Amino acid sequence: MRAAELAERITGAMQFGEKWKACCPAHQDRRPSLTFKDGNKCILLKCFAGCALDEICQALQLRPSDLFFDAIDRDPQRRKRASQQRERQRQALEQDAHQEGAVIDALREADYFIRSRQGLDISQWSHARLDAELNALADAYTLLEHEDLDGLR
């Protein structure tokens, strides 16, 4: 919840810059004594008549934990959707990491393959083997060249 959402729950709340002012719902108020605004992690509340946070929250039918921006939603369907979205994000990150690992493995294999073919005596190779080895070397060089052009991920 943010301060603007809290203001919707309090009759007559008015915004002044980043702060809001309203009559405190925890006591009979004729003039606005409650101020609130968004802090770094939660809504900051102050009743200048001296009402405690618990009293203000109770009057608004809130828990103090509801004032934190990352508070758990009470609606089970929204909680379920949020949980499913977090799971999809986790799976996507895991898949990206797996794909990144596969790319790194392929690059490592290509580099090893090229190095392992240096200095070999090919004078006894058949044309078919020579053709296959040169095609495999070309593929390895192409893979490494594309990585150099794309840069590291």
pLDDT digits (tens, 9 = 90+) for 85-116: 878 888 988 898 888 888 889 999 999 999 99
> Do 122 and 98 fall within a single domain?
yes
Task: Count Cβ atoms below 10 Å from residue 144 Cβ, excluding itself.
Answer: 16
> Do 54 and 91 fall within a single domain?
no
Final residue in a domain of this structure, among 13, 42, 67: 67
Query: Given a cut of 50, is residue 59 above it in pLDDT?
Result: yes
> 2 pLDDT band (50/70/90 cuts)?
confident
Rg of the chain over Cα atoms, rounded to whole angstroms, equals: 32
Q: For residue 17, give its domain range.
A: 3-67
**Range among 21-30, 101-110, 125-134 rated most confident:** 125-134
Task: Quote the pLDDT of residue 70.
Answer: 67
Cα 85 from chain centre: 11
Final residue in a domain of this structure, among 50, 67, 84: 67
> Do 63 and 80 fall within a single domain?
no
CA distance 91 to 57: 38
Beta-sheet strand order (sheet of 14-16): 14-16, 19-22, 34-38, 43-47
> Do 56 and 108 fall within a single domain?
no
Helical spans, DSSP H, in 13-151: 53-59, 76-116, 127-150
